[in-house]
Amino acid sequence: MNIALIGLGAVNRGFLEILRDKGESLKAQYGFAPRIVAIATRTRGCLVAPDGMDPAWLLAAQDLRSEGAARGCETGWDALRIARSAPADVVVEATPTDLTSAQPALDHCRAAIAGGKHLVLANKGPIALAYDELRRAAAQAGVLLRFEATVMAGTPSLRLGMQALAGCAIRSARGILNGTTNYMLTQMENGVSYDAVLAEAQRLGYAEADPTADVDGWDAAGKAIILAAVLFNVRLTLDQMQVTGIRALTLQDIESARAAGERWKLIAEVTPEGGKVAPVRIALSHPLAGVAGTTNAVTFNTDLMGDITLIGAGAGRLQTGFGILSDLLDIHHSRMPI
């Protein structure tokens, strides 16, 4: 499988680390032998190499452009041209999310599909804002569209809802959908200040490029919109949702909750009628109260199975990189003769 990576931030670096460290076992176990034939970055140039680039080298390169040129890579490409015309079977879009315009990722996605390439996204913008357009275009072009990493990193929330629970009607999804804020709330309970813990979340690669999306609840709302689209076939927009983040919560609020045997969590909830995101004080005995750090959780309320709850990583380099890998393996398996 020839792969073009758009973006070299935490997500695609996490994915490259997995390829570097598990390449042999992925090949032995699944016959999966990916080749990174192109990479587009915003500030470090773009490289194309039809014979493939070593993940370990890409991760270690100090100066991608000049080291790539020295290794014989082509350097005259840009992200749009790579998405459309690089010699790749699949494009992985993992640039920073913009939930207002979805750009420039949406144009990368359009170009990839127009170029006849399967598309894997970690970027939430194009799915939250243009799911119908991309789905239609992908179907017309005969390519696959996958985006497991957009919700709860590599924890298989979309695959659970779309595949494992197919046949159930899912009536609602409710839970903790943002790793950064859950990590912040957990650390603030340990007495760390809001600013210090936000800086740490950014350093560890949990937070979005613009962390206001995390702390003001928009990231969780974007994920709720994606869940509504795939679980209920309902299209929501951010302005239809009530969204409140954790910015106003103080150490004192956290202390008063603790004194009452409660804990603050940023809870997202979505039904076919709409969605909301808000900090909620929940009892320590509530199942979501024990979901700490960057761990996320979602409960699907279904007609046939009652409540099904999935708990797992919601953010992180390797964890989101795994979301990319799981989609690529899915595409790999769909392309194999049965």
Q: With binding defined as CB under 6 A, does residue 14 bind ligand HSE?
A: no
Alpha-carbon gap, residue 140 to 203, rounded angstroms: 41
Alpha-carbon gap, residue 253 to 280, rounded angstroms: 11
User: Which of 119, 132, 129 has its CA nearest to residue 97?
Assistant: 129
Q: With binding defined as CB under 6 A, does residue 197 bind ligand HSE?
A: no
Residue with tokens 């199942």: 287
Q: With binding defined as CB under 6 A, does residue 267 bind ligand HSE?
A: no
User: Which of 103, 130, 135 has its CA nearest to residue 119?
Assistant: 135
Side by side, which strands form the sheet with 242-243?
242-243, 274-283, 262-271, 170-176, 295-302, 306-313
In angstroms, what is the minimal distance from the CB of 126 to ligand HSE? 14
| Contact range with ligand HSE by CB under 6 A, out of 41-49, 58-66, 205-213, 239-247 | 205-213
Note if 223 is an active site residue.
yes
In angstroms, what is the minimal distance from the CB of 224 to ligand HSE? 12
Among residues 95, 123, 172, 178, the one that binds ligand HSE under rule CB under 6 A? 178
In angstroms, what is the minimal distance from the CB of 219 to ligand HSE? 5
Structure tokens given for 25 = 């076992």
Nearer CB in complex with ligand HSE: 68/314: 314
Taking CA atoms, 303 is separated from 16, 166, 287, in Å, by 40, 11, 21
CB 320 within 8 A of CB 149: yes
In angstroms, what is the minimal distance from the CB of 206 to ligand HSE? 5
Q: With binding defined as CB under 6 A, does residue 219 bind ligand HSE?
A: yes
Alpha-carbon gap, residue 123 to 148, rounded angstroms: 10
In angstroms, what is the minimal distance from the CB of 297 to ligand HSE? 12
Q: Which of 117, 223, 265, 276 is catalytic?
A: 223
Nearer CB in complex with ligand HSE: 302/319: 319
CB 175 within 8 A of CB 267: yes
Q: With binding defined as CB under 6 A, does residue 179 bind ligand HSE?
A: yes
In angstroms, what is the minimal distance from the CB of 179 to ligand HSE? 4
| Contact range with ligand HSE by CB under 6 A, out of 166-174, 207-215, 298-306, 327-335 | 207-215
CB 288 within 8 A of CB 297: yes
Q: Quick count: other Cβ atoms within 10 Å of Cβ 289?
A: 16
Pick out residues in 108-147 that bind ligand HSE (CB under 6 A): none
Nearer CB in complex with ligand HSE: 117/317: 317
Please tell me what DSSP assigns to residue 168.
S
Among residues 19, 297, 315, 328, the one that binds ligand HSE under rule CB under 6 A? 315
CB 19 within 8 A of CB 34: yes
Residues engaged in binding ligand HSE (CB under 6 A): 153, 178-180, 206-208, 214, 219, 314-315
Active site residues: 223
